[in-house]
Amino acid sequence: MPNITIRPAAPEDTGLILTFIRALAEYEHMEDQVCATEELLADWIFAKNKAKVNLAFCDGVPAGFTLYCFNFSTFLGRAGIWLEDLFVLPEYRGQGIGLSLMRTLAREAVEGGFGRFEWSCLDWNTSSIEFYKRLGAVAMDEWTTYRLTGEALVKLAEGK
């Protein structure tokens, strides 16, 4: 049985975080969309404190991560956790690392009195979908996620 440890990331882990982000992008066939740099991550995660990261280690070796932030439910009147990324390196999957990472965030949500813990998943990622269902997660099929980025975001901000 491997020794799995989870700890919050520190600024000196920024390079490792970027390595995991690039590996996740490769897994999702989105390598061309990664614009993150160590400088950007250090600024937004550690200097501005706009996101948090947990790192997973298997027998002392980096094996996975979660990157998350907080949202707010007006209906519940309390904050929630938004999981942006969960990733475990392929060679460490099936050993309980993903479960340990998810339990860590669930504990943070419960101990903090948060109202919910949410994330999205690509519809082709059946192994992740099955994993989430085993945790008791429910797909929010009636909701559609919308996104503004790049030029569309700038145009809206400028009133164009």
What domains does the chain contain, in order, with CATH numbers?
A: 4-157 (3.40.630.30)
Query: Over pLDDT 70: what percentage of the chain?
Result: 100
- Residue whose C-alpha is closest to residue 100's, from 85, 116, 86: 86
- Per residue in 39-65, pLDDT tens? 999 999 999 999 999 999 999 999 999
- Cα dihedral 18→46→84→105 (10° resolution): 120
Tokens for 57, please give them: 């280690």
Question: Is the Cβ–Cβ distance between 57 and 93 less than 8 Å?
Answer: no
Catalytic site residue from 27, 68, 92, 132: 132
| Distance in angstroms (rounded) separating the CA atoms of residues 25 and 20 | 9
Q: Which residues touch 62 (CB under 8 Å, ≥6 apart)?
A: 16, 19, 20, 55, 56, 89
pLDDT at 79: 98
| Distance in angstroms (rounded) separating the CA atoms of residues 139 and 67 | 20
- Per residue in 77-124, pLDDT tens? 999 999 999 999 999 999 999 999 999 999 999 999 999 999 999 999
Mean pLDDT of the chain: 96
pLDDT at 160: 84
146 is catalytic: no
